[in-house]
Structure 1
Amino acid sequence: MATVTETPTGGMADSAHLARVTFRIRRFNPESSEHAFWQDFTLDIDPKERVLDALHQIKWEEDGTLTFRRSCAHGICGSDAMRINGKNRLACKTLIKDIADLDGGPKAKPVVIEPLKGMTVQKDLIVDMEPFFQAYRDVMPFLITTGNQPSREHRQSAEQRERFDDTTKCILCAACTGACPVFWNDGQYFGPAAIVNAHRFIFDSRDEGAEQRLEILNDRDGVWRCRTIFNCTDACPRGIEVTKAIQEVKQALITRRF
């Protein structure tokens, strides 16, 4: 008779539906060593659970020192972006059944989890996000208007809103920036996420700061560093056409039409 076990999310799962999965996690603790290392954890877990659930189970039941970020756990905050099997993903949106070798046996491939590339690792799966957020702040991600305080709302047509609707979806998870080879080689590059958030306001009909943002992105570390590789678009968990947005900013710089 199958036994019933508690899942990481507090629900109950029939043990007959559990799979044995090995998670290979890149560990780093600057307080104990300057070198990173790999550590395997083998769990019996429901394949329909998420990678975040597996990380919770490891931290709560196997090794309390495992360190990672997460907040909402529903794909909104973007804090649990990490490399899973070589691709940037949100741990809370990645189902184990979609990325694990469930055939079992000694030759089963582990699920490989590591921090985002191109950013300084602070501990285990946590990277230093300050340079990323500084680039975001540098493009002035807020509405800029002049004149007196308006007495009514700024009206905008559906067509005007649609012009920048895609780039409003950004949750600042850094998955796109962490997938960019240009950013890997030179952390001074603004990165895709900052440019996406500049795009969101450059093409907003209510905004009057487009020229300022374009001049910021015309810098040697700005939009012209993009090599149109499409890694950023592939990595975006929200499906934003990141490369297209970057090209539209380049076009606006050339034509000064936005």
Structure 2
Amino acid sequence: MDRSDHFVVKILRYDGAEPTIEPHFESYKIRVIPGLTILTILLRIRDEIDGTLAFRSSCRSAVCGSCAMVINGKIDLSCRIQAASFGTNTIILEPLPNLHIIKDLVVDMTPFWNMYKKVRPYLIRKNLASDKELPQSDDERKKIDQYVNCILCASCYGACPVLARNPDYVGPAAFAKLERFVLDSRDERPVDFLENVNDDNGLWGCDMILRCIDACPKDVRPPDSIVGLRKHLLKYKAKRLFRKKGQE
């Protein structure tokens, strides 16, 4: 980082309520203080300089996932990134790609949540036991550990090159959550449920470029889930085919 006593923060500004005004960058100066995170800088700009600045935040602890954005060209959570970590006093902030901008750094998450709902991200049981727990061994839990860590920040969604050209693609986060439940020993959804994502907008749309892995702040690997789900689907189809031939 240079010796300047201020950070120069350039933020992409845009208001969807005023579409005639093109997206543009505005610059702000914030005095350098040790330990400043990007989120802290945004809070100071909003509270001390420009109250019209819009961004999302909540936990400030890299748990809620609401503050994901592009920071100096890389998608990350603004609450966990130290401003002094870049080796420069210039910080450029932009909203998540692949989602429409509502205002400034706030994007419309509706498409992301719609795809999330499509995979039914919850335990499905054939019979609901009203008074019994569903025990799970340590080994069974380990199978789903990495996918449980997903905080739904949409960083992978913003990084996905498939979504950049095809907004109907289900997306990496939804597949990570689907695999989380398919592998869960307590889940009883029928395997033919995967037919819902058996097309180019689903499991076969991923190009395996792996940007979603680089973008994830929790080290989740969505491509692993996609490969796993493809295997589940192909195994189901093979069994069905052999069963059909055996009946002929």
Task: After TM superposition, give the deviation of residue 150 of structure 1 in Å.
Answer: 5.0
Mapped partners of 1:210, 1:233: distance in 2:
28
In 2 relative to 1, CA 82–186 (structure 1 residues): closer, same or farther, beyond 3 Å?
same
Q: Tell me the TM-score normalized by structure 2.
A: 0.89
| 1:174 alignment partner in structure 2 | 154
| 1:4 alignment partner in structure 2 | none
Structure 1 unaligned segments of length 5 or more: list them.
Answer: 1-16, 103-109
Q: C-alpha deviations, 1:172-210, integer Å up to 9, x for none?
A: 100001100001111110100111110110111110115
Within the candidate set 50, 61, 64, 1:74 is matched to 61
| 1:58 alignment partner in structure 2 | 45
Q: How does 1:1-258 map to 2 (within 5 A)?
A: 19-32=5-18, 33-102=20-89, 110-149=90-129, 151-256=131-236
2:191·2:232 contact (CA, 8 Å) conserved in 1? Answer: no
Task: After TM superposition, give the deviation of residue 234 of structure 1 in Å.
Answer: 0.4
Identity across the alignment (%):
36
Task: After TM superposition, give the deviation of residue 212 of structure 1 in Å.
Answer: 4.6
1:115·1:126 contact (CA, 8 Å) conserved in 2? Answer: yes
Mapped partners of 1:252, 1:210: distance in 2:
11
1:82·1:115 contact (CA, 8 Å) conserved in 2? Answer: yes
2:75·2:159 contact (CA, 8 Å) conserved in 1? Answer: yes
Task: After TM superposition, give the deviation of residue 237 of structure 1 in Å.
Answer: 0.6
Task: After TM superposition, give the deviation of residue 163 of structure 1 in Å.
Answer: 1.0
RMSD of aligned residue pairs (Cα, Å): 1.8
Between 1:22-31 and 1:112-121, the stretch displaced more is 22-31
Mapped partners of 2:169, 2:178: distance in 1:
14
Q: In structure 1, the residue corresponding to 2:204 is in which secondary structure? A: helix
Task: After TM superposition, give the deviation of residue 254 of structure 1 in Å.
Answer: 1.6
Task: After TM superposition, give the deviation of residue 171 of structure 1 in Å.
Answer: 0.8
Task: After TM superposition, give the deviation of residue 42 of structure 1 in Å.
Answer: 1.5
Q: Tell me the TM-score normalized by structure 1.
A: 0.86
Which amino acid in 1 is paired with 2:157? T
| 2:243 alignment partner in structure 1 | none
